[in-house]
Chain A
Amino acid sequence: MKEVFFVVEFGIEFVPRDLYWKTTFYAIQAEKIGFDYLWITDHFNNRNVYVSLAIASAYTERIKFGPGVTNPYLIHPGVTAQAVATLNEIAPGRVVCGLGAGDRTTLQMLNLEQSKPLQTIRESVKIIREITSGKPLEMQGEIFKVDGATLNFKITSPIPIFIGAQGPKMLELAAEIGDGVLINASHPKDVENAMTFIGKGIEKAGKQLSDSDISAYTSFSVASSYDKALKAVIPVVAYIVAGSPKIILERHEIPVEVADKIREAIVHGQWKEAFILVNAEMVEAFSICGTPETCVDKIQKLLKVGVNQIVAGSPIGPNMRKSINMIATEVFPHLKK
């Protein structure tokens, strides 16, 4: 394998489906092996993201961490500002805030409509940024009205806001107003495409590309064999296919009607029916899956496209502890100096 080193940071995502102490155990492990960021997902049906982050922060010393990602449909951005500001008190300078339009499938379970996502995210970022900067906020937005909101405690360090994005307009907005972009993509073709829109957003804001942290937020599964990695990644890929915009499905020649079927099955808890519809093309399109060598190869392709953070997202692998160790011994040495 040819060694090509990039200036790159690595993040890891945990879904707090597991018991809190397991998530924390893996967070400690991730910090020990050299991950730079810890992202914890925010879904109402899993354990609470901020409680999970608070305990993980207490047992770690260096790794940066934050919700990856929360959404303003379920949690008001004022409350998100309060939560990340409180975390910042526990671990000053280590907190980041990942924000996105939410997972359509999970929001649907609560009958929450993902309405006007662009405007909602734009206003949410303003609310979180202003409130965490300690200034009282007056805002008469299209989505949110805020009358003099301010926190009753001081924030000692700024909290960068990363925006999770997949579609062209959200990518552009994320680059324009975010401190970082979390591109929901695992395939170089998607990331390359995303970079076009990110470029537009950067230009619109009058920034330089180097001002922003551009991350590929991947679904990642590493194991000693492809089959083992595949088995672990299928449920995650099913969720991604179910929530992907038509334009992305079409880019990978995935029939929209199959994605609809997967989404319907998930919404009704028919997991087996959903997972059986996931095929090899979907796994290739929406994940980094396989042996360490395969994963290194795909990560290098993503880095060549221009991202500077790779997030190894759920499921990481069939055995979390072994897979994290495998990243340390067989993936990082090819990518990190």
Chain B
Amino acid sequence: MALERVARKIPASLWNVASEKLIDLVLNSPNASKMPSDLAKTILYYWQRDQLATEVGLQRVLEASMILEPEKAITLMEELGLPAIVVMLRETL
């Protein structure tokens, strides 16, 4: 729930780039086996429908990133120039 709130704060203009980078993070993570199967299936559902760069899709990808690669996900948000998101994500750890 907390992460859904965080994702909502990401500006729509950055949904595409954030989604792309987070997906790479998730797919190439050495911790990929930590992905909950239900979350994986939800991501596949949104991917099939080209909705990973929408608010709901991004929420799920962010959730997966925070499970698999929390520090890298936070760094990525810093790189995207989203300090408020970084603070909110740190609070979820």
Chain A residues within 8 Å of B, Cβ to Cβ? 19-22, 24-25, 28-29, 32, 59-60, 319-321
Known A19-B35, A21-B37; judge A319-B28 contact (CB<8 A): yes
- Asked if A21 and B28 sit within 8 Å, CB to CB, the answer is no
Which 3 A-B residue pairings sit nearest by Cβ, starting from the closest?
A: A21-B40, A59-B48, A59-B44
CB distance from A65 to the nearest CB of B (A): 15
CB distance from A110 to the nearest CB of B (A): 25
- Asked if A28 and B47 sit within 8 Å, CB to CB, the answer is yes
Query: Could you tell me the distance between the alpha carbons of A283 and B2 in the complex, rounded to whole angstroms?
Result: 50
- Asked if B32 and A28 sit within 8 Å, CB to CB, the answer is no
- Asked if A21 and B48 sit within 8 Å, CB to CB, the answer is no
Q: Which of B23, B41, B44, B50 contacts A321 (CB 8 A)?
A: B23
- Asked if A21 and B41 sit within 8 Å, CB to CB, the answer is yes
Most buried by A among B43, B47, B48: B48
SS class, residues of chain B in contact with chain A: helix
Query: Could you tell me the distance between the alpha carbons of A21 and B47 in the complex, rounded to whole angstroms?
Result: 11
- Asked if A19 and B32 sit within 8 Å, CB to CB, the answer is yes
**B91 close to chain A: CB less than 8 A:** no
6 further contact pairs, Cβ within 8 A, besides A19-B33, A28-B47, A28-B48: A20-B40, A25-B44, A32-B50, A59-B44, A321-B23, A321-B24
**B17 close to chain A: CB less than 8 A:** no
Chain B residues within 8 Å of A, Cβ to Cβ? 23-24, 27-28, 32-33, 35, 37, 40-41, 43-45, 47-48, 50
Within 8 Å CB of A20, what residues of B? 40
SS class, residues of chain A in contact with chain B: helix
Within 8 Å CB of A25, what residues of B? 27, 43-44, 47
Within 8 Å CB of A321, what residues of B? 23-24, 27
Within 8 Å CB of A22, what residues of B? 27, 32
Within 8 Å CB of B37, what residues of A? 21
CB distance from A232 to the nearest CB of B (A): 13
CB distance from B29 to the nearest CB of A (A): 10
- Asked if A24 and B32 sit within 8 Å, CB to CB, the answer is no
Query: Could you tell me the distance between the alpha carbons of A196 and B28 in the complex, rounded to whole angstroms?
Result: 43
Query: Could you tell me the distance between the alpha carbons of A19 and B33 in the complex, rounded to whole angstroms?
Result: 7
Q: Which chain A residue lies CB-closest to B50?
A: A32
Write 11 A-B pairs (CB below 8 A) sorted by A numbering: A19-B33, A21-B37, A21-B40, A21-B41, A22-B32, A24-B44, A25-B27, A25-B47, A29-B47, A32-B50, A59-B44
Q: Which of A21, A24, A319 contacts B35 (CB 8 A)?
A: A21
Query: Could you tell me the distance between the alpha carbons of A321 and B50 in the complex, rounded to whole angstroms?
Result: 15
Within 8 Å CB of B43, what residues of A? 21, 25
Within 8 Å CB of A24, what residues of B? 44
Query: Could you tell me the distance between the alpha carbons of A56 and B27 in the complex, rounded to whole angstroms?
Result: 17
Within 8 Å CB of B48, what residues of A? 28, 59-60
Q: Which chain A residue lies CB-closest to B24?
A: A321
Q: Which chain B residue lies CB-closest to A26?
A: B27
